[in-house]
Amino acid sequence: MLKGIIPYTHHLLKTSIQEGDIVIDATCGNGNDTLLLASIVGETGHVYAFDIQEQAITTTKALLAEHNYKHVTYIQDSHANLNTYVPIEQKGKIGGVVFNLGYLPRSDKQIITTSESTIPAIKIALDYVEKGHLVILVIYYGHEGGTAEKDAVLSFTKNLDQKQYNVLQYQFINQKNHPPFIIAIEKR
Ligand SMILES: C[S@@+](CC[C@H](N)C(=O)[O-])C[C@H]1O[C@@H](n2cnc3c(N)ncnc32)[C@H](O)[C@@H]1O
């Protein structure tokens, strides 16, 4: 009955985002979320897909090409530079943003997201997202360096002003071995 972390993330994305929206995948990795976003927004919408690794951008491009989706901009750079690529006119109009924190599955475990860029990127994402829409963080933290990022992200999000944001934590608290969890931030 309870949705797992990925199905619940996708449920939240479908709740936040509509056809025609402009949206952001802040960590495209193997492209699974980018694919979902592209299918929800359709050709009248647009997806910005960020990742620092060439391999992630190549894999995501190939996956989206398989589905013949062309309404995606691929950016091999840090999500902390999001405002360099997403036009300023989109500030306050983005339908939803998703971050998957951690390392690229089946790849170099040393290349991880870190709070030094994740926190500034979340702040920019919160500026860009439309009121009533979501910035979703899926937090994997079982790897080396993961706990420091998790703690920084929790501390930052717990202290967001409740008059401006609703912040939800979704987690299976009886699972062993660092189960991933979701922080969903709704801009009010
Ligand atoms: C957990 S994986 C993403 C999984 C992806 N959503 C999927 O469906 O496969 C995290 C990704 O974040 C990327 N990354 C690390 N630091 C980054 C940064 N500063 N900006 C953008 N991407 C970053 C990594 O290269 C990695 O591909």
HEC profile for 32-67? HHHHHHHHHHCCCCEEEEECCCHHHHHHHHHHHHHC
In this predicted model, what pLDDT tens digit does every residue of 140-162 receive, in sequence order? 999 999 999 999 999 999 999 99
Q: Which pLDDT does position 174 carry in this prediction?
A: 97
- Whether the CB-CB separation of 52 and 26 falls below 8 Å is answered with no
- The answer on pLDDT for 3 being more than 90 is yes
Q: Which of the four pLDDT bands, split at 50, 70 and 90, describes residue 106?
A: confident
Pick the residue whose CA is nearest to atom 8 on ligand 1: 32
Q: Which pLDDT does position 18 carry in this prediction?
A: 98
Mean pLDDT of 19-29: 98
152 sits in which H/E element: helix 146-158
Which pTM value belongs to this model?
0.98
Higher pLDDT, 105 or 13: 13
Tell me 3's DSSP state: -
Lookup result for tokens 């990742």: 51
In this predicted model, what pLDDT tens digit does every residue of 119-138 receive, in sequence order? 999 999 999 999 999 999 99
Residues touching ligand 1 (Cβ under 6 Å) are 27, 29-30, 32-33, 50-53, 56, 78-80, 100, 102, 104, 111, 113, 117, 140
- The answer on pLDDT for 170 being more than 90 is yes
What is the Å distance from ligand 1's center to 100 Cα? Answer: 6
The two most distant CA atoms of the chain are separated, in Å, by 44
What is the Å distance from ligand 1's center to 163 Cα? Answer: 30
In this predicted model, what pLDDT tens digit does every residue of 73-93 receive, in sequence order? 999 999 999 999 999 999 999
What is the Å distance from ligand 1's center to 104 Cα? Answer: 6
- The answer on pLDDT for 22 being more than 90 is yes
Q: How far apart are CA 92 and CA 100, in angstroms?
A: 22
User: In the chain, what percentage of residues exceed pLDDT 90?
Assistant: 97
